[in-house]
Amino acid sequence: MKDVTQCCRFQGSRPGQRTAICGRLTEQHIPVLRLAAFGLTLFVLLGAASMAQQAPAASSSQPQTQAANTIAAIVEREVGMSERLLVGAAEAMPEDKFNFTPASLNIAGSQYKGVRTFAEIVKHVAAVNYAMWTPLTGENMPANLAGTNPAADLTTKAQIVQLLQNSFALGHRAAQTLTATNATEQVQFRNNTAPRLYLATFALIHCADEYGQMVEYLRMNGIVPPASR
């Protein structure tokens, strides 16, 4: 796994590196495996939506089933799953440990110098969520989330957790904009464009990556993540 200090910086990157919200997103910066994953996700979601829309009504519950299988509903469920994991992890860390990094443990042979604190990881997740999802809703990116040190003005656990929760509220709104018709539509993303479904789902892939790091930070402090209890 890439060092947490290098993941999704707000700057350019070479092919083969993460490009979640780097300064410029171009096709050559998107690794082949991510393109393949996006294509597979698109195929599955479009197929599910198409089947739901074409299936004949068999009972009074059929409309509810169709609604549950739309692209918007499927992605929104995934947003909810990520939200529960990450917000739960953020809330589980005591406030006096929010500035914890593994560097403080002085583990022999380790390479943790300069990695993000727990608080910085949470802020980073929120910033990436906003960067990926605001193009779908048309909302503005909060000014304090720009740059390589997002939300530097937020210092308390309550403020940081609230920022994370707000970013997932945005994610739910972004998911609701998706349809079988517009899923592959290109929207402006920084200095380039990207498909709507790519932005909606790549944010969730990034959430999973950062959640793994949050879990390790919790366990290093003797805390079992809520999802594992």
What CATH number is attached to the domain comprising 147? 1.20.120.450
How far apart (Å, rounded) are the C-alpha atoms in residues 29 and 8? Answer: 12
The number of helix segments (H) and strand segments (E) in the chain equals: 6, 2
Q: Residue 7 above 50 pLDDT? A: no
More confidently predicted of 151 and 147: 151
Indicate the average pLDDT of the chain.
Answer: 82
Measuring CA to CA, how many Å separate 188 from each of 123, 156, 157, 185, 221?
A: 23, 33, 33, 10, 41
Domain hosting 144: range is: 27-228
* Token pair recorded at residue 143: 């000014």
pLDDT band per the 50, 70, 90 thresholds, residue 14: very low
What is the pLDDT at residue 42? 55
Confirm whether 7 is domain-assigned: no
What is the pLDDT at residue 209? 97
What is the pLDDT at residue 21? 40
Confirm whether 96 is domain-assigned: yes
What's the total number of domains in the chain? 1
Tell me the backbone φ, ψ of residue 168, rounded to 5 degrees. -75, -30
Confirm whether 151 is domain-assigned: yes
Confirm whether 155 is domain-assigned: yes
- β-partners of residue 193 are 188
Confirm whether 122 is domain-assigned: yes
How far apart (Å, rounded) are the C-alpha atoms in residues 204 and 78? Answer: 8
Confirm whether 16 is domain-assigned: no
pTM value is 0.74
Confirm whether 157 is domain-assigned: yes
Confirm whether 11 is domain-assigned: no
What is the pLDDT at residue 45? 57
Reported in sequence order, the residue ranges of the chain that DSSP labels E, i.e. its strands, are: 186-189, 192-195
What is the pLDDT at residue 158? 98
Give 97-147 pLDDT, tens digit per residue. Answer: 999 999 999 999 999 999 999 999 999 999 999 999 999 999 999 999 988
Within 10 Å of residue 91's Cβ, how many Cβ atoms?
A: 12
Q: Residue 43 above 70 pLDDT? A: no
* Token pair recorded at residue 37: 């994953």
